[in-house]
Structure 1
Amino acid sequence: MTQRTPIWKAIASSIRHDIAEGIYGAGDKLPTEASLAQRFGVNRHTVRHALAELAEENLIHARRGAGVFVTTTPTDYPIGRRVRFHQNLRAAGRSPAKKVLMLETRTASTAEADALRLTVGAQVHVYEGLSLAEGRPIALFRSAFPATRCPDILEHLGENPSVTSALAKCGVHDYIRASTRVNAKLATATQALHLQIAEHAPILRTIGINVDFDGTPIEVGRTWFAGDKVTLTLSDE
């Protein structure tokens, strides 16, 4: 027997969709609980339950005596040959930042070795971090770089979290995206904690390989975008 979705979850999903579609923009006031209850044919307690989930995801916030307002709207993030985090966010009118979560050197996994064309047992430098827009987390990422090609990259990233800047200091002054794969996932407990969303909320995972202009792979990265905070768009650039 198919299990039915709780009505409050369906209401939260509907309001979330309205925000994603721009029906309610950043700073806009949502209809009152009474209006939403009438719209969905439920009582106000059910509406309150749905709004509580959206508040937990930081999509909305309540102002005492004023109502409930939209906190943010999804950020357009182009995926193309020249993927640059800071450049993409500034083009979307958002203020970008990165937070370093981990820098380490270890043996490449099988998938990393294949993507970077490394031999079994080769070392990679790994950078894990959090991408932010307007100070709010929108994505988690993990990037691996060939240790022999980029021996000092972790030191550079410790000084400046920009991958483009760190690669330039390693002699890679420009690079392009060779491939990007995108699929949908549900947030784990730790991902939800970092992204400030509910556990099992939808996220988009991308796996990208960047190469230099000789076609040699210099980075393989996985990024987990908060599904309702980012809209991935295809770009020819």
Structure 2
Amino acid sequence: MRRMQGSVKLRPNGTLLHRQLFVVLKEQIVSGRYHSGDRLPTQDELCRQFSISRITVRRALTDLQEEGLIRNAQGVGAFVTADIDKIKRGPDFSFIGDMRRTLKETTMQILQLQVQRCPAAIARPLRLAAGDEALHLVRTRSKDGKPVALIDGWIPPRFAAVVTAKALQKKSLHELIAGSFDQLGRVAQEVNAALADPIVAQGLQVEVNSAVLRITRLVHHRDGAPVHYVTLWTAPQRTRLVMEIEAEDIGGYNVGRLLHDVRG
């Protein structure tokens, strides 16, 4: 059994206390601090450790149990489940492999599919003129009945004609707009932490202001033309972002870079 050391006081900061405790305990489980069969600290110990109420602790433990991370034994304690070893399966690191896996393992619900005037901030990277229209596609991806991604994308007219609700039930969006996976080109993306606004919260079925991961991608065709500008939101309790960098890319920007938008 592994006990937490030290003392940390959780404070209200826009994220509910029970969600803060949930994130802390989940990270300790996933990182291997607790293993299958280990008992978590008692509710009293967690109350003292984080200076929070028993109700807050119970809500966090309930969320962990709903995620399949622990089981609560009445009068005995909370134990890490045997299934925890399945959380860190070896991923397919390729972009195309990820799209194929997502198409196979998730179900899609289209929330919006219509031609609209493209916002200026999105029109520029899509090489469209101010006021030009593009196909606006908003959808969710769900796994085991739970939404794992809210996807808001824009597709320029040149590539949009083949995108229909019926076609999206059979093929990946990128396979449709590029013609095939082999015709996909460069992908640029930016990753940020964010708080769920009411629209994102509804799409992901999470609480407003809960922590989410926001990924913005610009996908290109093999000929260099941009085909898709997409913003994707995921809930960290359901989704991880994994990356692999080739040795020849380690000295370039493909490894990623941190931009600090701090103003004096």
Q: Same fold (TM over 0.5)?
A: yes
Cα offset for 1:112?
1.6
Normalising by structure 2, report the TM-score.
0.67
Can you list the C-alpha shifts for 1:107-130, whole angstroms capped at 9, x where unaligned? Answer: 111122111101122211111111
2:244 is the alignment partner of 1:229: no
Specify the SS of the correspondent of 2:224: coil
For residues 169 and 19 of structure 2, the distance between their equivalents in structure 1, rounded to whole angstroms, comes to 43
Aligned residue number for residue 215 of structure 1: 224
Whether contact under 8 Å (1:8, 1:46) holds in the other structure is no
- Identity value in percent: 17
* Equivalent of residue 44 in structure 2, options 32, 37, 50: 37
Decide which structure has the larger Cα Rg and report it: 2
For residues 30 and 48 of structure 1, the distance between their equivalents in structure 2, rounded to whole angstroms, comes to 23
Aligned residue number for residue 162 of structure 1: 172
* Equivalent of residue 198 in structure 2, options 189, 196, 206: 189
**Structure 1 runs not aligned, ≥5 long:** none
Whether contact under 8 Å (1:56, 1:198) holds in the other structure is no
Change over 3 Å in CA distance of 1:116–1:79 after alignment to 2: farther
Cα offset for 1:88?
4.6
2:14 is the alignment partner of 1:5: no
Aligned residue number for residue 207 of structure 2: 198
More strand by share: 1
Change over 3 Å in CA distance of 1:10–1:85 after alignment to 2: closer
Change over 3 Å in CA distance of 1:129–1:161 after alignment to 2: farther
Cα offset for 1:168?
5.0
Change over 3 Å in CA distance of 1:9–1:143 after alignment to 2: closer
Aligned residue number for residue 59 of structure 1: 67
* Equivalent of residue 87 in structure 1, options 79, 82, 100: 100
Aligned residue number for residue 131 of structure 1: 141
Change over 3 Å in CA distance of 1:157–1:52 after alignment to 2: farther
Alignment RMSD (CA, Å) = 3.9
Change over 3 Å in CA distance of 1:228–1:10 after alignment to 2: closer
Question: Which amino acid letter does the alignment assign opposite residue 199 of structure 1?
Answer: V
For residues 10 and 210 of structure 1, the distance between their equivalents in structure 2, rounded to whole angstroms, comes to 34
Aligned residue number for residue 153 of structure 2: 143
Cα offset for 1:35?
1.8
Aligned residue number for residue 21 of structure 1: 31
* Equivalent of residue 187 in structure 2, options 178, 189, 205: 178
Question: Which amino acid letter does the alignment assign opposite residue 158 of structure 2?
Answer: T
Cα offset for 1:74?
7.5
For residues 78 and 182 of structure 1, the distance between their equivalents in structure 2, rounded to whole angstroms, comes to 19
Specify the SS of the correspondent of 2:27: helix
Aligned residues: 227
Whether contact under 8 Å (1:127, 1:154) holds in the other structure is no
Specify the SS of the correspondent of 2:128: coil
Question: Which amino acid letter does the alignment assign opposite residue 175 of structure 1?
Answer: L
